[in-house]
Amino acid sequence: YEATDNAQTKTLLAAALFSSRDPQVAPLLLRFAKEDPQPAIRTGARLQLKDMLPATDYRALLEWAAKNEPDAENRDLALRELSSK
């Protein structure tokens, strides 16, 4: 993913990342969850990580999103998930 500047190739590789359950993709998914410009991508990455990260790491991601997520709806989703735990 990092090695290409081709937008189409990046899109295809990102799709593969999101369909993978390999723990090696977790760092890239974390970056998507925190840095992608599209709110839906950030939420999708966070949801993918829910099943991949240990509970404490996932909670830390939720706490980060509740404080730092620029999209109000995504922030609210993170806050609701935190309050249900």
Give the model's pLDDT for residue 85.
66
Say how far apart CA 60 and CA 8 lie, in whole Å.
Answer: 32
Separation of alpha carbons 14 and 18, rounded Å: 6
Sequence-distant (≥ 6) Cβ neighbours of residue 53 within 8 angstroms: 26, 61
Q: What is the predicted pLDDT for the residue at 12?
A: 76
Distances (CA, A) of 11 to 8, 17, 32, 84, 85: 5, 10, 12, 33, 34
pTM to 2 decimal places: 0.83
Q: Which residues contact 21 (CB under 8 A, 6 or more apart)?
A: 51, 52
Q: Stretch 47-55: mean pLDDT, rounded? A: 93
Higher-pLDDT residue of 38, 7:
38
pLDDT above 80: residue 2: no
